[in-house]
Structure 1
Amino acid sequence: MTQTVETPPVARAWLGPLLLLLGGMLIGLAPIGLRMGLDTMGPQAIAFWRYTFAAPILFILLIGIERRMPARINRYVIMAGIFFALDIGLWHWGLTLTTVANATFIVNLGNICVGFAAWLFLKDKPKPIWFVAVFVAIAGAAALSLGGETGGKTDIRGDLLALGAACLVAGYMLCSKLARNRLGAMDVIFWLTVVEAGVAAIIVIVSGESFIPATLSGFAAPAFLALAAQVGGQGLIIAGLGRTPAAIAGIIVLIQPVFAAAISWQLFDEPLSGVQGAGAALILFGIWLSQRGMKRRRKIASKPSQETAKTHI
């Protein structure tokens, strides 16, 4: 008599990119929330409270869902948290010295650099179609960021700060990928947020900004960012990184400026120009094209092993 053994379902190849796409859209709310809170609090202080409000929420979620304490932090989580907090700090600083268009475009290049960093450090060479997707996405990011009205003065110092932020974005994504390979998604996002809050506090002190807004309503913007951008956006991105190659992830999260532009159009009556609309379409096409570079997972029917594998959620 033969016994039928049910094998666990094969991981869905589309789940990782979907999590990254949704996470990128929520992260796209970050500049909107920042813009709405600048009247009552400085940009560095907003970032600090974004992380500080999110940390206890993530801790409660971890305890409630997985019913355990957070796993031990590792060096990759620490490095990723430092990279991300410094990225936000440099980008905000760069915005005061150069145009928003320049700073946004240059920082978005960091997401493209993730694939090259993964190729260099992880020996994870992407497929040839990925390079085509990169070219399309860069062209779209340039059109979206630089195709509108250019207000403000450009300054090479601001552009260099944005370039530094772009490098930090690549470091953040790469280290987050390494951390995600060793820890569960909820452990990584919780410890990332704790590290980011510590680094952001130092940045606030160095910048001379006040930690406390003039009125309690000033906490509304960072509270919104804590839920939408940090818990939702960054959390989904970390979860997606565990299921998606770093090179592909870097292109997918370019949905951020597209979603931010769409929201700004509705909230602030800032319609896109024809060039910007074409740029947004190119980014979406680049995201779709990058999926052609993912290796299709084959469903292999094999005899059940006597050992049970441990998996991270």
Structure 2
Amino acid sequence: MPVLTARTTALIVLLLAAMLLGLAPILVRLSDTGPAAAGFWRFAFALPLLLVLSQRPGGEGIGLPGKWMALAALFFVLDLSFWHYGIVMTSVANATVLCNLTPVVVTLFAWVVLRERPQRLFLAALGLAMIGALAMAIGARTGQGSSPLMGDLFSLSVAVWYAGYFLAVKAARRSAGPIRILLWSTGLGLPALLLLALVLGESILPASPAGWAACAGLGVLHVVGQGGVAWALGRLPAAITAVTILIQPLVATLLGWLIFTETMTPVQMLGGAGILAAVLLAQWSARTTGPGRGPMKTGAVPEDPAPV
């Protein structure tokens, strides 16, 4: 039986994490509490699990937060706040697809700031992914959500916050493992989300056992899903990772169709097929650049020696 390479293993972990994170918007809808409050409970339920994982044999321990972890926490709070409001204002498909336009921001940042010019094949994959994502959003039927236009705008802004989170975690992974990064980004973001929920006058406590179960589920998904993404970011280029997690809106759209009867149109189905093709093309572009190089022409991403 062939042994999986480090890149292949990281890709498999990333795909599984992205599929799990596709459950998050469904649980937010079912949380029976305010949008920012749902983010607070997501962090509150995740924090004890992260503390336990940080103390496991061979683990890093709690340590102290670095500047990149604090920045990741800030971007994550902005990410969840705008996204959770987007989820209740527009369709699950639109909210999840629009917020996952992150690859555009990540690639532009690497190109303009880091002077890492993308390979043509990767740009083709990125373009195909964006066309697919826009098709899924535009193709959604109207009348889904309390304020579709505002929800779409909120969700679109999340692409910037999520990109900032990606890049901050990528920088933090050079000196820390994923559990410590996720622990501190969660711990630092917890009081900020609670304060935001209180200022906005949200209902803090879930009103039903099902709501509590959904909040607990968000906490588990946070640890497993975001933990998997943080782990993969230490082994894959950020741009490749950002394109690959576009699997997440596909899962969310399918679940929105099954649970909330948010009908999938033929245009959305074609968009989903385009995203899947783009993910494969992006991975192929990474393979064609040679060993140890990502989808950029300069500045190869080194293998991260940080412990898992």
Q: Which TM-score tier does this pair reach, normalised by the shorter chain?
A: 0.7 to 0.9
Alignment map for 1:45-84 (pairs within 5 Å): 45-84=37-76
CA RMSD of aligned residues (A): 2.6
Q: Can you give the 5+ residue segments of structure 2 that lack an aligned partner in the other structure?
A: 293-303
Alignment map for 1:93-104 (pairs within 5 Å): 93-94=85-86, 103-104=95-96
2:307 maps to which of 267, 289, 312: 312
**How many percent of aligned residue pairs carry the same amino acid?**
36
Deviations 1:79-107 (A, max 9, x none): 11111111121223345666666544432
The yes-or-no answer on 1:256 pairing with 2:226 is: no
Cα distance in structure 2, aligned partners of 1:310 and 1:181 = 8
Amino acid aligned to 1:227: V
Aligned in 2, Cα 1:51/1:215: closer, same or farther, shift over 3 Å?
Answer: same
Amino acid aligned to 1:64: R
Amino acid aligned to 1:205: L
Aligned in 2, Cα 1:203/1:119: closer, same or farther, shift over 3 Å?
Answer: same
Aligned counterpart, 2:116: 124
Alignment map for 1:174-193 (pairs within 5 Å): 174-193=167-186
Q: Is the 8 A contact 2:92 2:253 kept in 1?
A: no
Q: Is the 8 A contact 2:97 2:249 kept in 1?
A: no
Amino acid aligned to 1:36: L
Cα distance in structure 1, aligned partners of 2:208 and 2:86 = 27
TM-fit CA distance, 1:187? 1.1
Q: Is the 8 A contact 1:129 1:293 kept in 2?
A: yes
Aligned counterpart, 1:14: 8
Cα distance in structure 2, aligned partners of 1:244 and 1:162 = 26
1:133 maps to which of 103, 125, 136: 125
Q: Is the 8 A contact 1:115 1:248 kept in 2?
A: no
Cα distance in structure 1, aligned partners of 2:93 and 2:252 = 13
TM-fit CA distance, 1:198? 2.4
Does the residue aligned with 2:63 lie in a helix, a strand or coil?
coil
TM-score normalized with structure 1 length: 0.84
Return the index of the structure with the highest Cα Rg: 1
Aligned counterpart, 1:266: 258
Aligned counterpart, 2:102: 110
Q: Can you give the 5+ residue segments of structure 1 that lack an aligned partner in the other structure?
A: 1-8, 299-308
2:18 maps to which of 24, 29, 37: 24
TM-fit CA distance, 1:67? 4.5
TM-fit CA distance, 1:207? 1.1
Does the residue aligned with 2:277 lie in a helix, a strand or coil?
helix
Aligned in 2, Cα 1:33/1:16: closer, same or farther, shift over 3 Å?
Answer: same
Aligned counterpart, 1:196: 189
Deviations 1:30-87 (A, max 9, x none): 01111122xx311211110011110110110121243552232111111111111111
TM-fit CA distance, 1:259? 1.0
TM-score normalized with structure 2 length: 0.85
Q: Is the 8 A contact 1:117 1:174 kept in 2?
A: no
TM-fit CA distance, 1:118? 2.5
Q: Is the 8 A contact 1:86 1:199 kept in 2?
A: no
Aligned in 2, Cα 1:215/1:268: closer, same or farther, shift over 3 Å?
Answer: closer
Cα distance in structure 1, aligned partners of 2:220 and 2:37 = 16
Q: Is the 8 A contact 1:126 1:247 kept in 2?
A: no
- Size of the alignment, in residue pairs? 292
2:160 maps to which of 155, 167, 175: 167
TM-fit CA distance, 1:213? 2.6
